[in-house]
Amino acid sequence: MGKVSLVDKMRIQTLREQRLGAKAIMAAYPDKGWALSTVKKICQRFDRTGSATERKAGCDQPKSACSEAHWQTWHFLLLVGTHTHTHL
């Protein structure tokens, strides 16, 4: 199965607005071949953000985006952790 198209996401959103669950949405379009987990994720995104196509704020940040203070704390804990181990 390929990606769910934008039009399909809008269909899922419309059915979700009518309070249909993921299984009922899949039953409405049996020829689409959607995976249940994919429809559930789209429904959860709609419930969380109000849109099946837009992501919540902050999703576009790179995974490596962390503050300098956090990085320094992590580095300090790493150094402390390596020096406290003793070998028998």
CA distance 65 to 34: 34
pLDDT value of position 27: 94
Q: What is the pLDDT of residues 54-73, one digit of tens each?
A: 766 665 556 565 667 777 78
Is 46 buried (19+), middle (13-18) or exposed (0-12) by CB count in 10 A? buried
Amino acid, single-letter form, for residue 68: E
Q: What is the pLDDT of residues 17-35, one digit of tens each?
A: 999 999 999 999 999 989 9
Four-residue CA torsion sign, 56, 57, 60, 61 = negative
CA distance 28 to 61: 36
**pLDDT of residue 13 exceeding 80:** yes
**pLDDT of residue 85 exceeding 70:** no
**pTM of the entire structure?**
0.59
